[in-house]
Amino acid sequence: GESVGLHLPTLSVQEGDNSIINCAYSNSASDYFIWYKQESGKGPQFIIDIRSNMDKRQGQRVTVLLNKTVKHLSLQIAATQPGDSAVYFCAENKTPGRRALTFGSGTRLQVQP
Amino acid sequence: DTGVSQDPRHKITKRGQNVTFRCDPISEHNRLYWYRQTLGQGPEFLTYFQNEAQLEKSRLLSDRFSAERPKGSFSTLEIQRTEQGDSAMYLCATDRSSSGNTIYFGEGSWLTVV
């Protein structure tokens, strides 16, 4: 299938290690953030979200951290598996009350067996 | 399959032709979105429907683009007089206003304009 990330920043990790993917967002008024995973030739898949009134949210093997002071969002994946290899996008709701999401440029995660 | 369904998955068309993409939402999802994604980039918002009403439109949605959702269920995105710059993946996403903000994407429709 077609690749959606030809010249993306790449994070390469060993299977079993923890991964941290970072994202800088632009609008201090953004009130909602989402992380998506996109495999080659497929649509984005929801991973986890967080509202601006929270600093941390945990899911299954994933944790999202939000630092509003420096407008930084991170996705932590515990015990990374080969199936986690994909492009990861952060998205923000820049205009509270509107539905449009603004996506970042993405990070490719490569998991080495 | 109860996910967001898009058709066709791939379309190759000659410059100047019109194309139409269809999106069938997850059952009971009253909100529907169209995004466009080019190689190496994240998705870009095009438009949003709540039920049959088109409530938001991006400046990316030129007058050659039109989206409809006549009965508040499936939606179509038509591109008239296609240009090579329209080559991209067109993504549909849906969610339900009563369930928070989790937006689910379809697998996309790839358009290649030659």
* Structure confidence by residue, pLDDT tens digits, A19-48: 999 999 988 889 899 999 999 989 999 999
The residue count of chain A comes to 113
Mutate to test the interface with A, among B39, B59, B91 (most CBs of A within 10 A): B39
Mean pLDDT of B39-63: 93
Report in angstroms the alpha-carbon separations of A105 from A93, B10, B44: 15, 23, 10
Minimal-distance CA residue of chain A relative to B54: A99
Partners of B52 in beta bridges: none
* Chain position carrying tokens 């649509």: A43
Mean pLDDT of B13-42: 95
Pairwise CA distance, residues A51 & B53, whole Å = 27
With beta carbons under 8 A apart, name residues in chain B contacting A46: 102-105
Half-sphere exposure of A80 (CA within 13 A, CB side): 22
